[in-house]
Structure 1
Amino acid sequence: MNFPRVLPALAVVAASLVACSSAEPAAPGREQLAGQASAKPTAPAKPKPKPYTIAFGGDVHFEGILRPRLNNPRTALGPIAGVLRKADLAMINLETAITTGGTPAPGKQFTFRAPASAFTALKSAGVDVVSMANNHGMDYMDSGLEDSLAAIKKSRFPVVGIGADEAQAYKPYRRTVNGNRVSIIGATQVLDDEFIQAWTATPDKGGLASAKNETRLIKAVRQARKNSDTVIVHLHWGTEMQKCPNQAQLSLAPKLVKAGADVVVGGHAHILLGAGYLDNAYISYGLGNFVFYNSNPATTGRTGVLTLTINGRKVLKDTWTPATIQGGVPVPMTGTARTGAIADWKALRSCAGLSAER
């Protein structure tokens, strides 16, 4: 064998093997392939919630001088609609049965009903959800309830506080606004004694969500708290013409806050009551009349829109847009009258035990 010739040839072969091993990586083993197969693409980051606004008006019905306004639903609520439409969400208390028939509740002095076009009018005015949990929601008893539920289903208009059974009556309205998961529950603390049993929803009977059943209402709040960023409870509560919250209100509000409510609002008294902060939550004890046939300019005719700016559980700001009821509908105030009305509204919290700031 000629070693001088063989050695250079072996060197060439070795060099080519080294070059191949560096240019082509070794095939992956089973463990490496399994790891690659189980890897998942990274999910995009969830957008950070941004503040949103929700506007609240008081009690609404369409009786008396208001009924003809439903002939043109687009303008039924008058100029206040502009304030409602500006908010991301808007809500009122619909204090009437939605029916054109039925039998009036026996012995009641005042019974309210309205055709289903009321929902069209509210939607046109920028209202997104209403509560029918109040002392007029079943003014036309069981047949009126059936008509109301049928109208709600047909119109697909969001309504809380009423249902074919207890679960439906306490079920919250849910909507995501600017990344915030908002839940709104409706219930009434005001029911005529003789109608409490007949009007209250149970597991096997339709009716209203009752705040008199505190245990059931608190359960609904706690359930909503589990998967919501903002929990709002809309209540029918208070004593007619009493400008300070009654003991039932003062007792229930902190219980709802403890259960997880971030906002508790409502009305019934026909006049405005105080609003402000209770710990980290926001409470409004009385929004007064809103679209209502009976009004005294100095008392029951004073109304307005409460607009809250909220981010998650924090109510960042409250804004009061004062109005006076003229011809049954709220007309926003201007100039010095507006300034004075805002000051008067802020003064109402002095007897409510609420704070101007968190």
Structure 2
Amino acid sequence: MGTRGKAVAAAAVAGTMALAAAGCGGSGGSDDSDAKGATSAPSGKASSGGTGGAAPAKEPIILAFGGDTHFEGQLRSRLGNAKSALGPVAKQLRAADLAMVNLETAITTGGTAAPKSFTFRAPPSAFKALQGSGVDVVSMANNHGMDYMEGGLRDSLAAIKRSGFPVVGIGKNANDAFRPYRVTVKGNKLAIVGATQVLDDNLIQAWTATDTKGGLASAKDVPRMVQAVKEARKGSDVVIVHLHWGAELQPCPLPRQKELAQQLVAAGADIVVGGHAHIPLGGGYMDGSYVHYGMGNFVFYSASGKTAESGVLLLKVENGKVVKDKWAPARISGGIPIPLKGAGAASALKRWNGLRGCTGLQARPS
């Protein structure tokens, strides 16, 4: 990101997102993240390599998370202009120190459609579109990540390798699928793991990565999931777990979600976020960590009514812990999340805060 881009991001933090006023603001001023490492992540906001010298001081950082994203239907044409592919919400993503979404599609133009009702795929240009809109990392561990079966998986893995774009939750084997993406952001060493707790019953065996077969990281294997978090914890300041979980259109987390969240927090996860329900769920604090049970749709061709309720989750991390959180509400129109303002935003925020009631989570860090 160049000087002009950084200025735009700073303006977005101060203005559009109003993070500072909400206590979720960044450090302000110039962002020196481009110079933090010898190897830069695609967006330029974070460094995936070491500095070769003294470790940089840890600064507070802002993390942004969006929900389910694909490029089906009318969204496919947006891939032609990477910088505007996600619409106005990209300003919020670019302003964050690291932004992540759930990429709910196979990356292929071939393969064989899976035996299911809905199958999603997108060309490799989807990675450029995400990068151009400020997204730094995605998870493909979800119930659409292998929609075009083994051929689509091979294409997806090849596209990931060619692009160099950070993707978690998918791989040539289980170790690869569970491997964390490690990146240093303003002196903070992050490790990000992705996995899915949701798979069609008839596809579980075919889609689950094993020691000898490619596929998705499955959170149904709880011991392996816990092991992945413990491994990610080593050498990290912040461990983020992105999960595909829950039940469609259910506004409260399932017992198995709550149980898994507790197990992952106990294993060392500082942040557990995810989606699948196509509507927002609640979030809050659990034993010093932050858990969010569902961010709803984000860039999604068929969103309407309740499934058009969307937003960006913003977390301020300081000294390895989430110290503040903010929901920046949006409403999907034409498949794109449009940030809300004024009374519409206030009403959506009140509704979102009310979702915490059935989660058992706390509104503030203890």
Identify the TM-score tier after normalising by the shorter chain.
0.7 to 0.9
Change (3 A) 1:102 1:243: same
Query: Any gaps of 5 or more consecutive residues in structure 1?
Result: 1-43
Q: Say yes or no: does 1:133 pair with 2:136.
A: no
How far 1:151 sits from its partner (Å)?
A: 0.4
Q: Partner of 1:67: helix, strand, or coil? A: helix
How far 1:330 sits from its partner (Å)?
A: 0.3
How far 1:45 sits from its partner (Å)?
A: 7.0
Mapping for residues 137-152 of structure 1, pairs under 5 Å: 137-152=145-160
Q: Is the 8 A contact 2:300 2:335 kept in 1?
A: yes
Output the CA distance in 1 between the equivalents of 2:91 and 2:136. 14
1:31-71 Cα shifts (integer Å, max 9, x gaps) = xxxxxxxxxxxxx9754311111100000011111111112
Output the CA distance in 2 between the equivalents of 1:117 and 1:45. 37
Equivalence for 1:177: 185
Change (3 A) 1:152 1:47: closer
Query: Any gaps of 5 or more consecutive residues in structure 2?
Result: 1-52
Amino acid of the residue matched to residue 109 of structure 2? T
Q: Partner of 1:266: helix, strand, or coil? A: strand
Output the CA distance in 2 between the equivalents of 1:47 and 1:300. 42
Q: Is the 8 A contact 2:243 2:272 kept in 1?
A: yes
Output the CA distance in 2 between the equivalents of 1:283 and 1:290. 19
How far 1:291 sits from its partner (Å)?
A: 0.2
1:283-309 Cα shifts (integer Å, max 9, x gaps) = 000000000011223x10000000101
Q: Say yes or no: does 1:319 pair with 2:335.
A: no
Q: Say yes or no: does 1:238 pair with 2:246.
A: yes
2:172 to 143, 151, 164: 164
How far 1:312 sits from its partner (Å)?
A: 3.3
Q: Is the 8 A contact 2:188 2:320 kept in 1?
A: no
1:108-128 Cα shifts (integer Å, max 9, x gaps) = 000000000100100000000
Q: Is the 8 A contact 2:56 2:186 kept in 1?
A: no
1:241-284 Cα shifts (integer Å, max 9, x gaps) = 00000111011000000000000000000000000001101000
Q: Say yes or no: does 1:257 pair with 2:265.
A: yes
Equivalence for 1:337: 344
Amino acid of the residue matched to residue 317 of structure 1? K
Equivalence for 2:16: none
Output the CA distance in 2 between the equivalents of 1:260 and 1:341. 32
Number of positions where the alignment pairs a residue of Structure 1 with one of Structure 2: 313
Output the CA distance in 2 between the equivalents of 1:315 and 1:65. 37
Amino acid of the residue matched to residue 252 of structure 1? L
Q: What is the CA RMSD across the aligned residues, in angstroms?
A: 1.0
Equivalence for 2:200: 192
- Identity percentage of aligned residues: 63
Mapping for residues 109-124 of structure 1, pairs under 5 Å: 109-124=117-132
How far 1:313 sits from its partner (Å)?
A: 2.7
Equivalence for 1:271: 279
Amino acid of the residue matched to residue 341 of structure 1? A
Amino acid of the residue matched to residue 354 of structure 1? L
Equivalence for 2:88: 79
Equivalence for 2:69: 60
Normalised by the size of structure 1, how large is the TM-score?
0.86
Equivalence for 1:48: 57
Normalised by the size of structure 2, how large is the TM-score?
0.84
Amino acid of the residue matched to residue 176 of structure 2? Q
Amino acid of the residue matched to residue 97 of structure 2? D
Q: Partner of 2:350: helix, strand, or coil? A: helix
Q: Partner of 1:306: helix, strand, or coil? A: strand
1:319-358 Cα shifts (integer Å, max 9, x gaps) = 1110000000000001111111111111110011111111
Equivalence for 2:314: 307
Bigger Rg, which one: 1
Output the CA distance in 2 between the equivalents of 1:314 and 1:343. 25
